[in-house]
């Protein structure tokens, strides 16, 4: 066996002999079901949040360093790029949060039945949009007042 | 008796244990999975609290933020947020790396780099919060 991972695809036939199971194509063949989108979004938003955590560190370190350093973060956050990053960060946070709660529910044995999988996916995507909108609306209103 | 297909590259004489060896540890996976869930659970209220607090302090100048972060309860919650965030981040990114990087040396190097970066970033944020907490008046 040249590649040790092929051991994953070794199976036993009904007569007891060893057979090499084929790896069927999946990503490139099937139309994406909502659950597949939900799954990769959870990973993508997790990676986005990892990058976004740099902003949290910068913000805290600047607040501890003093007014001059803090003004730099503030200026960056208010710039078009900063606002865009913050918007992406907000949406990623809410998606990962709701997707994470979905995972925790699954781990406890809830919502894992086939009929609930797609509705839950649409629900968390909708909830993400709503929560993101609510936060930015609240931000817009509080800056205006 | 019909004989099943036996592709050339299968070593039939190998035991199940022999096949499993080298595919990864069977010891630390459960712990990794569990801690990922526990940190996620902690981050549900912590991140919601943080978003609400940031909204409440939008546009506030540095002294106001420093005073807010320096209050004991806020500082403790910020520290918890930082610790849980970076603990969860390094666990999550480790899985991403394990899934996509094939070469074992590059994979292990990337995991070490991620864990080191998360540790340092968490320490920087933690020291910043501690400084604000100690210097608060």
pLDDT digits (tens, 9 = 90+) for B61-103: 999 999 999 999 999 999 999 999 999 999 999 999 999 998 8
pLDDT at A108 (0 to 100) = 93
Instruction: Share the mean pLDDT of chain A.
Output: 91
Q: Is residue A70 pLDDT above 60, yes or no?
A: yes
A11 forms beta bridges with: A19
What global pTM score does this model have?
A: 0.83
Cβ <8 Å between A143 and B59? yes
| pLDDT class of A86 with cuts at 50, 70, 90 | very high
Alpha-carbon gap, residue B23 to A5, rounded angstroms:
7
Q: Tell me, what DSSP letter sits at residue B28?
A: S
Chain B: residue whose CA lies nearest to A56? B125
Residue B5 pLDDT > 70, yes or no? no
A57–B121 CB contact, under 8 Å: yes
Q: Cα torsion at B59, B63, B64, B68 (round to 10°)?
A: 130
Kindly give the interhelix angle for A34-65 and A67-78, rounded to the nearest 10 degrees: 150
The pLDDT mean for chain B works out to 88
Which residues in chain A have their CB less than 8 angstroms from residue B127's CB? 64
Q: Give the mean pLDDT of B17-23.
A: 72
**Tokens for A31?**
């139309």
Find the range with the poorest average confidence among A17-21, A126-130, B25-29, B33-37: B25-29
Q: Would you say residue A80 has pLDDT above 90?
A: yes
φ/ψ (deg, to 5) at A24: -80, 150
């Amino acid at each position: 066996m040249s590649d040790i991972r092929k051991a994953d695809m070794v199976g036993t036939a009904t007569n007891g002999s060893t057979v090499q199971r084929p790896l069927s194509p999946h990503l490139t063949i099937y139309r994406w079901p909502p659950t597949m989108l939900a799954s990769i979004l959870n990973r993508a938003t997790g990676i986005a949040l990892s990058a976004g955590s740099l902003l949290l560190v910068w913000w805290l370190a600047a607040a501890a360093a003093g007014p001059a350093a803090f003004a730099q973060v503030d200026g960056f956050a208010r710039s078009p790029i900063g606002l865009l990053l913050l918007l992406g960060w907000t949406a990623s946070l809410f998606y990962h949060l709701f997707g994470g709660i979905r995972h925790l529910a699954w781990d406890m044995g809830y919502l894992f039945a086939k009929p609930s999988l797609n509705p839950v996916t649409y629900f968390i995507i909708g909830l993400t949009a709503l929560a993101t909108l609510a936060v930015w609306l609240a931000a817009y209103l509080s800056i205006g007042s | 008796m019909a004989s099943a297909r036996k592709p050339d590259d299968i070593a039939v004489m190998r035991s199940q244990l022999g096949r499993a060896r080298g595919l990864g540890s069977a010891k630390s996976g459960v712990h990794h999975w569990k801690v990922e869930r526990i940190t996620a659970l902690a981050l549900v209220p912590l991140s919601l609290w943080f978003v609400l607090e940031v909204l409440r302090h939008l546009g506030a100048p540095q002294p106001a933020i420093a005073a807010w972060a320096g209050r004991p309860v806020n500082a403790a919650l910020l520290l918890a947020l930082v610790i849980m965030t970076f603990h969860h981040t390094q666990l999550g990114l480790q899985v991403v790396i394990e899934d996509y990087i094939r070469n074992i040396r590059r994979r292990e190097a990337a995991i070490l780099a991620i864990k080191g970066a998360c540790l340092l970033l968490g320490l920087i944020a933690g020291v910043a919060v501690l400084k604000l907490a100690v210097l608060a008046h």
